[in-house]
Amino acid sequence: MDLFKLFSKKDNKSKNVAKERLKLVLIHDRTNVSPKFLEMIKGDIIKVISDYMEIDKDGLDIKITRTKSNTDNTPIPALIANIPILKMKDKTVE
Amino acid sequence: MSEVIVVTSGKGGVGKTTTVANIGTGLAMLGKKVVVVDADIGLRNLDVVLGLENRIVYDVVDVVEKVCRLKQGLIRDKKYDGLYLLPAAQTRDKTAISPKQMQELTTNLRELFDYIIIDCPAGIEQGFQNAIAGADNAIVVTTPEVSAVRDADRIIGLLEAKGLHNPRLIINRIRHDMVKRGDMMNIDDMIDILAIDLLGVIPDDESIVVSTNKGEPVVTNKDAMAGMAYMNITRRITGEEVPLLSLEVDEGVFTKIRKILFGK
């Protein structure tokens, strides 16, 4: 098992923490997106989605992250929203 | 064809001046005619790192304001014939020079030198705008710390906005032991995050402090790791292809085996 440990990447190493923190902070620096701006988007998403389904508003998580572009491998920022659905509203069932 | 290279960073204290002194000296050792310009007006530093502090009569502001002729402002290195320093003014501030004046200065220096290396002040204020005004290429210096890398990223963005595309990166003060135990970001981590070309890596080496104490750039010391690393960087600047020093490469043998076995 010890040998296996040698081969596995440990995520709790401080350099990995540094890298993850940097990735996140740079995405925000580069896109110039403030937490306030994200809150505004979040509010609007809740408004739109609420017409169609009941969602867990407190559980909604929205963030800017980095993903690879489809055409080449250049990293591009992406808006990721994780919206927990409690139940669908009748409106959507037709 | 001469080349104007600005050496810059977002955060202070990452080793810009040391880098300028060593690249300048290294180029002179290779027989090039080179001038290092201290554009950090108000905070003169490059002179002491080169050991030329007691020879200064005029400075870059005197040259720009035509208090003296360009050749009078240039201080010749005590050891290398091709190396000259244009020191910063101490009694003035960053507003003493305009980007236009800097451009004019580099145009004049191009006639006399193969390489013009500019030591840029840290940060993104007017001193930065001045220092980059006449440059063809930029080198960004950072250390493997979150604050330095974040500021380096900001500088890279600003350089590109100012038309200095493809700046190259020097990672300074890498500690092999810390990288090995996963407590310092490695070269790949940094390149991955900043997404720019690597010019070289300088190990955190006591000999840098010793050489700065003496006013003799470490690049002249062939036994020092940092000296070898700076000479490699110098050669890369002249267009030579030089592989990274084996001790600069932070990959342990297990990383290599894992790469072979698992492909990642």
pLDDT of residue A6: 53
Average pLDDT, rounded, for chain B: 92
- Note whether A4 contacts B: Cβ–Cβ < 8 A: no
- Are the C-beta atoms of B133 and B103 separated by less than 8 Å? yes
pLDDT of residue A11: 62
* Of A79 and B129, more confident: B129
Out of A13, A22, A29, name the one closest to residue B146 (CB). A22
pLDDT of residue A24: 82
Interface with chain A: mutation pick from B149, B158, B188, highest number of A CBs within 10 Å: B149
Q: In the beta sheet, which residues pair with residue A75?
A: A68
If pLDDT is split at 50, 70 and 90, which confidence band does B139 have?
very high
pLDDT of residue B135: 97
- Are the C-beta atoms of B102 and B90 separated by less than 8 Å? no
If pLDDT is split at 50, 70 and 90, which confidence band does B137 have?
very high
User: How much is the pTM?
Assistant: 0.79
The pLDDT tens digits of the residues spanning B172-191 come to: 999 999 999 999 999 999 99
Report CB contact under 8 Å: A26, B153. Answer: yes
Task: Residue B179: list chain A partners with CB under 8 A.
Answer: 15
Q: What are the CA-CA distances from residue B28 to residues B113, B134, B222 (Å)?
A: 11, 21, 15
If pLDDT is split at 50, 70 and 90, which confidence band does B249 have?
low
pLDDT of residue A81: 87
Report CB contact under 8 Å: A10, B189. Answer: no
| DSSP string for residues in B96-149 | GS-HHHHHHHHHHHHTT-SEEEEEPPSSSSHHHHHHHTT-SEEEEEE-SSHHHH
Out of B154, B183, B254, name the one closest to residue A15 (CB). B183
Interface ipTM: 0.76
Interface with chain B: mutation pick from A16, A21, A22, A32, highest number of B CBs within 10 Å: A22
DSSP state of B218: G
Report the residue of chain A nearest B261, measured CA to CA: A7
Out of A16, A19, A29, name the one closest to residue B153 (CB). A29
Report the residue of chain A nearest B184, measured CA to CA: A15
Least confident among A34-38, B119-123, B183-187, B204-208: A34-38
The pLDDT tens digits of the residues spanning B57-86 come to: 999 999 999 999 999 999 999 999 999 999
pLDDT of residue B263: 58
Percent of chain B past pLDDT 90, that is, above it, reads: 85
The ranges of chain A with pLDDT < 70 are 1-11, 66-69, 72-75, 91-94
* Range list of H helices, chain B: 16-29, 46-50, 60-64, 70-73, 99-110, 126-132, 146-161, 176-180, 187-194, 206-214, 225-237, 253-262
The pLDDT tens digits of the residues spanning B9-55 come to: 999 999 999 999 999 999 999 999 999 999 999 999 999 999 999 99
pLDDT of residue B261: 66
Cα(B22)–Cα(B65) distance, integer angstroms: 28
Q: Scanning the structure block, which residue is given the tokens 């592989």?
A: B243
Task: Residue A30: list chain B partners with CB under 8 A.
Answer: 153, 157
Task: Residue A26: list chain B partners with CB under 8 A.
Answer: 150, 153, 193
Interface with chain B: mutation pick from A14, A25, A26, highest number of B CBs within 10 Å: A26
